[in-house]
Amino acid sequence: MSEVDRIADQLRRAYEGVAWHGPSLKEALDGVAAELASRRVDSLHTIRELVSHLTVWGREGRSAITGHPYVSLTGEADWPPPKADWAEALADSRPGAAGPYRRSEAIAG
């Protein structure tokens, strides 16, 4: 397995499948209701905020893979306000045409 194939496989597994770090993102979010995703505990980020953060960084990674200059996200770009629609936020976090993993699949062939 080439290094590119290995990295692409790890990215896929981080989203769904057997990930090295524990439950995949898909497994961790499966069944999480909008109410729970919006609940704030002390000063910690909500699940909605974490999903928004993961989504923008996935896109930034994909952008870098496709040859665009790397940009370190800061402020609201790093922690964008969560989408009002929880189902839409979940759909955005999934691999797909706009998802963060598509280019890695294309590179891996």
Write the pLDDT tens digit of every residue in 52-86.
999 898 888 778 877 888 889 999 999 999 999 99
pLDDT at 99: 47
Backbone angles phi and psi of 22, in degrees to 5: 125, -150
CB atoms within 10 A of CB 66: 11
Cβ burial of 30 (10 Å; 0-12, 13-18, 19+) is exposed
User: Binning pLDDT at 50, 70 and 90, where does residue 103 land?
Assistant: very low
Q: What percentage of the chain reaches a pLDDT higher than 90?
A: 42
Tell me the pTM: 0.79
Over residues 76-98, mean pLDDT: 84
Residues in the chain: 109
Whole-angstrom Cα distance, residue 17 to residue 4? 18
